[in-house]
Amino acid sequence: MEKVKFQIEFPVNSSKGVLFNAFSTPSGLSEWFCDDVNIKKDVHVFLWDGSEESARMLTKKREEFVKFRWLEDEEDGINSFFEFRIKIDDLTGDTAVVITDFAEEDEMEDSKELWSAQIDRLKQVLGA
């Protein structure tokens, strides 16, 4: 099944440094994205309610973005990733988080709703 790339943008009232920390560190990720994170080299093992998913951190740029690939996709030869990108509007100075992810066509809406719920949780944690 082919996965389709999508992007969604969420305004978040927070600084680049705080957001980057929430996306790139185990303590930051476990506050909003998952219950816990274990890191083995470049692989992050995300834990949710007793289930776990592993993702490789592909690349990151301080205060700009963090990009991961699920190991399951990597093993299946699926060229996908998920990325947290911090975007600052040049005119207003407003901060947004841009999520890039891949989903199968029939799971697209569910994926977007899941990200929306995750970002709502991030905003609560940050008081944004």
Give pLDDT tens digits for 94-114.
Answer: 999 999 999 999 999 999 999
> For residue 13, what pLDDT is reported?
94
- Is a pLDDT exceeding 80 seen at residue 128? no
- Angle at 118 (CA atoms; ends 82, 8), nearest 5 degrees: 50
- Domain ranges in the chain are 3-126
**pTM beyond 0.95, yes or no:** no
The arithmetic mean of pLDDT across residues 56-71, rounded, is 97
Q: Percent of the chain scored above 90 by pLDDT?
A: 95
Contact status, residue 116 vs residue 103, Cβ threshold 8 Å:
no
What value, to the nearest 5°, has the Cα angle with vertex 87 and ends 83 and 92? 165
Fold type of domain 3-126 = Alpha-D-Glucose-1,6-Bisphosphate; Chain A, domain 4 (3.30.530)
Position 42 scores a pLDDT of: 86
Q: Report the mean per-residue pLDDT for the chain.
A: 95
